Structure 1
Amino acid sequence: MFNVNFAIVANNKPAQLPNADAIIRACTTHLNKNNSSNPTANQRGMSLVNESGIPYAWVKFGPSITMAEARTQDYVAHSVNGTAAAATACVRVPNVYLAFVDNDNWGYIIMEFVAGAVCSNTDAPAVAKAVEHLITIHPPNAQLGHFGGSPIFHPLFNDRKSSVEYPSVTLLEDHINGILRSFGYNVYVDFSQEAEAHDLCLCPSDMNRQNFIKEPNDTIVVLDFGEACFLPASFFDLALRGEDSYTRRLRPLISRQPSAQLDGLLLAKGALVVTGNNNLGLPAKLN
């Protein structure tokens, strides 16, 4: 019997879904088998199949999988799936059936299985349309990070993760401006108008092609919410400046006017890279 802490147990989970202990054992077997005989296989994901060998669920697992990610995917799936706007955008998100952490602090997210193919270059316009819909998703409160609160996962920060959680947009703004002052830049950011006009929005920051699947009906399914946090809209503009090849392909296809705060964020990102210190300019209240 494993000691597990549950984050999500969905009412609509499949009746044949194994319990947490069985899922942990299956994932351990999968990992050990592929480590020795098939090192190119997916080391942090596996499908669950029914008696006929047909996949009905997907398990994402590993030491970097958090329940904050699971909560975010669950919230976004409920916000997107089945809505008229999502149908128009031809986008959906896999439903989360179960999520938990084991006694080794490995996370497990068991979700709906998606049958389809990783999106190609020719699918980029459809993916851009799907992403445009995702950034219209707002949280129910002003909590930054993943749904329910977390550090910020975003390429602004070294290792793509902030060193602290931010209780307010004001303190996040204070930190960015502290970074800029540390380098003597005569630039500052002001998220107040952005937050007032748009509230926080979902910011998908990892837009590589592996995170988008096209189903046979041409619906784009968005995967991986590890770097999808609720942030001021300008953080999405910064994410679009990423060097991933698929992100570069999506950039001109996503219709939006870049935020006036983008220049400040670009300078702050450069300062953090140079110093290698995510605590640079951190307000005393966050120490």
Structure 2
Amino acid sequence: MATSINFGRQRRPQPQLPSDSEIIDACDRNPPCDENGLRLKGLMYPPQAPIFWIKYGLQSEGRDAEARTQDFAFRALEQIPQSDREGIRIPEIYRIFTDEHPSGNSMVYIVMGYVPGKTLLQILRDTPDSKSVEHLYDRIAKAIKLFLTFKVPDDATPGPYKGGIIRHPLFKDYEAAIEYSSVAQLQHHINKVATMIRRDQPTVDFSEEKLCFCFSDLYEGNFLFSDNGDLYVLDFEQASFLPISFMTYALIQDRQVCAAIEDKLSLPQGNLPGMIKAGSYFIMSTHTIGLPLE
């Protein structure tokens, strides 16, 4: 039996949502991979005249945490004055529901607004001149800066909204092995891993860093420019409340967006050597490196 949660703002009417069974049937008919062999995680609905984008995946993959976090970000962005957030948007989530999968795990379905437009990835394929897209990078940098200003809930812990596993490029397969109860515990784990082989290696100190909203997946396909030029930020799987140094680390990844916007964001660099050292060990080792934590 499906378990459903409705999102959306009460002051504005929602579009007529498809039923759970209609959504499940559409996703079951969707091919598992695209023409390049990449796993598909979503579809337009209805296909002839799309109104919704439906994203789906196993609950064990963190889809429910992703939906909660995207909904938090949507609402937090709306709290910022319109003049400050002009041109920056996040797709609105209307509903999330779970349904039992034959594997015994639960499948999560996220229904959000569909936005016609082109991703930065598509634009770059058609526009080899990097200078002609500089204004797009400026807008992406603006979005990341705005995200960092979101008011973090008083009871937030490192991870997605309402708790869960951190997904971030610091960790093996972009996924932490445990859920952290505090920044101190997260710091302890990173430092333990960074100094496992040599005690004189650089470490991190997050004591002066408050949690902030870090959008860490800077893949070019996650930034969609609508037909009227607005930027929609997509895919909140790797978005979490983290010390700001995690945003610094995300910006040194091998992506065009990172190279283009790193200098547009004045972020602290002091913890970067320790994170680079720990990150190299996280990625090369098993998920349980440094565990258990004393």
> What TM-score results when the alignment is normalised by the length of structure 1?
0.86
2:149 aligned with 1:136, yes or no? Answer: yes
After superposing the two structures, state which structure 1 stretch, 12-21 or 265-274, moved more: 12-21
Q: Which AA in structure 2 matches 1:6?
A: S
For the structure 1 residues 257 and 131, does the alpha-carbon distance in structure 2 shift closer, same or farther, using more than 3 Å as the test?
A: closer
SS at match of 2:168: coil
Q: Distance in 1 between matches of 2:57 and 2:24?
A: 10
Q: Is the aligned partner of 1:45 residue 2:56?
A: no
Q: 1:189 to 1:4 in 2, by over 3 A?
A: same
> What RMSD over aligned residues (CA atoms) do the two structures have, in Å?
2.4
User: How far does residue 15 in structure 1 lie from its aligned partner after superposition?
Assistant: 4.4
Aligned residue in 1 for 2:130 = none
1:83 aligns to what SS in structure 2?
coil
1:30 & 1:204 partners in 2: Cα distance?
Answer: 28
For residues 251-270 of structure 1, the aligned pairs below 5 Å read 251-252=262-263, 254-270=264-280
AA matched with 2:204: V
Question: What is the rounded CA distance, in whole Å, between the counterparts of 2:42 and 2:267 in structure 1?
Answer: 37
Q: How many residues align?
A: 272
Cα distance 1:39–1:280, how it changes in 2: closer, same or farther (>3 A)? closer
- Residue 6 of structure 1 deviates from its aligned partner by 2.9
The one-letter code of the counterpart of 2:69 is T
CA distance in structure 2 between the aligned counterparts of 1:208 and 1:238, rounded to whole angstroms: 14
Tell me the CA shift for residue 134 of structure 1. Answer: 1.5
Percent identity (aligned): 31
Residue matched to 1:116: 117
- Give unpaired runs (5+ residues) of structure 2: 125-132
| Equivalent in the alignment of 1:62 | 57
Deviation of residue 100 (structure 1)? 1.7
One-letter amino acid of the counterpart of residue 239, structure 2: A
Residues 1-287 of structure 1 mapped to structure 2, 5 A cutoff: 3-10=1-8, 11=10, 14-31=14-31, 43-49=40-46, 53-63=48-58, 64=61, 66-81=63-78, 83-84=80-81, 87-104=84-101, 105-119=106-120, 120-121=123-124, 122=133, 123-140=136-153, 141-186=155-200, 187-195=202-210, 200-252=211-263, 254-274=264-284, 276-285=285-294
Find the aligned partners of 2:144 and 2:277 in 1 and give their Cα distance. 25
Q: Secondary structure at the match of 2:208?
A: helix
Distance between the aligned counterparts of 2:83 and 2:161, measured in 1? 20
